Amino acid sequence: PAAGAEATDVEQPGGGPMVSQDFKRQVKVYRKKLNRMYRCTIMPTSRFTRRWDALLVVVLLFVATVTPFEVGFLTTELNALFYTNRAVDVIFVVDIVLNFFIAYRRDVERGSGWVFDNRRIAAHYLKTWFLPDVFASIPYRHIARLASLCNYVLRHGWCERCDVSGGWATSP
């Protein structure tokens, strides 16, 4: 070792700067911590996320062009279009699940930074885009069925003894 260097220092190949064993241990600990932090978190700038977003753009273009035509002119049948629509529904549901693991940027007084904590990511997603995503992902046929059920319930009540306002009828 060079004069004045500690016994734990090692010389880099090519005569580069000295790196202590303690520093190497700290780097290993820090890498393990980062791996734990990133294990269940997806960076929005990752290749996977960019490809997933590209798939979503294609799916949204499909929905925007095919669904109006389908609603206006076609009847529901068990054909390729039916199964394609179910695949689109699955993609939207997977997107909702993935959003619980995608890191987000947080602006703070002294700057901004990424949030990697999955609990905070989930809370942020639930407060911001979760409900719009869920409502946009529900197939329109299910919304029509739900509206029909609500209309029936409002007209007839849940049971024969219930009135329209939800209270109990006074006479049987």
Q: How crowded is the C-beta side of 161, counted as CA atoms within 13 Å?
A: 3
Strand-pair partners of 11: 18
3-state secondary structure of 36: helix
Q: What pLDDT was estimated at residue 16? A: 53
Strand-pair partners of 165: none
- What is the enclosing helix (H) or strand (E) of 111? strand 111-115
> Which DSSP string corresponds to 43-100?
-TTSHHHHHHHHHHHHHHHHHHHHHHHHHHH----SSHHHHHHHHHHHHHHHHHHHHT
Q: What pLDDT was estimated at residue 157? A: 61
Per-residue pLDDT of 80-90, as tens digits, reads 999 999 999 99
- Cβ distance 166 to 153 under 8 Å? no
Q: Is 14 left (phi over 0), alpha (psi -120 to 50) or beta?
A: left
Q: What pLDDT was estimated at residue 136? A: 86
Closest CA to 76 of 141, 143, 164: 141
Q: What pLDDT was estimated at residue 11? A: 53
Q: What pLDDT was estimated at residue 158? A: 58
Per-residue pLDDT of 1-46, as tens digits, reads 455 545 455 555 555 566 788 888 988 988 888 777 677 899 999 9
Tell me the backbone φ, ψ of residue 116, rounded to 5 degrees. -110, -10
Q: Is residue 145's pLDDT more than 60?
A: yes
Q: What is the pTM of this model?
A: 0.64
